[in-house]
Structure 1
């Protein structure tokens, strides 16, 4: 009799343990399920807070960089000759410059240059910007040189008492004007009029333009 009671008690204890384990597993599953909505709700709160996803931010940055690159469309023009026109873009304006003709002279109006020769350049400027530009700002960016790897010499007309057509003042949008530059240079088989290399290097002028000419091109 005592043996049967012990067996019955053991069976009862086992059943209680099984029920308790099943209850703990159910509580654990329920707790896990209840935590999931809180995680999703947290993500929804972040997404609805106005914060930008990192991938979206990278895409916008790439689009902005591409847009900025498109702003700089004017190309270098390195093989120009007398009579050719170049489009010049600076940080403050855009204009077209044509080197109409050149004269290479040992003296000008009985004035001798400090260097070997005078270069008298006839030019045409057209303002293609949407605001007025200063003519002297446009023409003042050019220099003459015999060495593209070296320095050059700008307009010196104001330093000499010579009879040339200098032009200054405002040039309105769409307006065109002609004038002359006077430069000094060394004797050489070839000469180059270009945008001052320092202005291009500093990005003050966004593109280079180079006209090549010889004494045979001189009028």
Structure 2
């Protein structure tokens, strides 16, 4: 009789142990599933955040790119510093030396510009010109404005109010080329700071 009782107690203990182990395994599996779901959600959120970061920079830029402008055309810039129009009135190569300063490459190009503020706030002209450059190759970096170095060049200075215009000049070093491209800095465009605006200037028009 004692053996029977002992056997029954042992069987009950074994059954309880098996149930406890099964519950523990199930809880562990549930925890692992939850962790995997959480990690999957986190990865998805991180991916979405990265994608949003790529596109959020230019989400407020509403003006389309203008890539085929020529001398005399007006381009519209929608930027983080304001919206404005820029017109190239004329452009010319002024030689490898200008006002006693020699170009470190081949030549200097001088561009006459008109800028009109289309924003509701004042527009800082120096900020505008900081992101403008000229290049001979759209896949390469360009030269920025050096007008402040020359006495006779009409540098853009100060600010203009909404609706106002300002006339000034841009001068930079360039290599000899068949075509020059006057544009917004691609780095600023890539960062979402502006739409892209490009003037195509054939060499025969600036000689």
Alignment TM-score, normalising by the size of structure 1: 0.64
- Structure 2 residue 104 is matched with structure 1 residue 111: no
Does the Cα contact within 8 Å between 1:108 and 1:162 map onto a contact in 2? no
Residue matched to 1:80? 69
What's the offset of the Cα at 1:70?
8.8
What's the offset of the Cα at 1:87?
0.5
Paired residues, what number? 149
Residue matched to 1:21? none
Q: RMSD of the TM alignment (CA)?
A: 1.7
Q: Which has the larger radius of gyration?
A: 1
**Aligned-partner Cα distance in 2 for 1:204–1:70:** 10
The one of 118, 124, 138 equivalent to 2:114 is: 124
**Aligned-partner Cα distance in 1 for 2:159–2:134:** 24
Matches within 5 A, 1:25-40: none
Residue matched to 2:197? 209
**Aligned-partner Cα distance in 1 for 2:121–2:192:** 21
Specify whether residues 108 and 191 from structure 1 end up closer, same or farther in structure 2 by C-alpha distance, changes over 3 A only: same
Residue matched to 2:143? 153
**Structure 1 or 2: more strand by fraction:** 2
Does the Cα contact within 8 Å between 2:183 and 2:198 map onto a contact in 1? yes
Specify whether residues 187 and 74 from structure 1 end up closer, same or farther in structure 2 by C-alpha distance, changes over 3 A only: same
**Aligned-partner Cα distance in 2 for 1:161–1:90:** 28
Does the Cα contact within 8 Å between 2:118 and 2:163 map onto a contact in 1? yes
What's the offset of the Cα at 1:91?
1.4
Alignment TM-score, normalising by the size of structure 2: 0.68
Does the Cα contact within 8 Å between 2:147 and 2:169 map onto a contact in 1? no
**Aligned-partner Cα distance in 2 for 1:130–1:216:** 39
5+ residue gaps, structure 2: 1-57
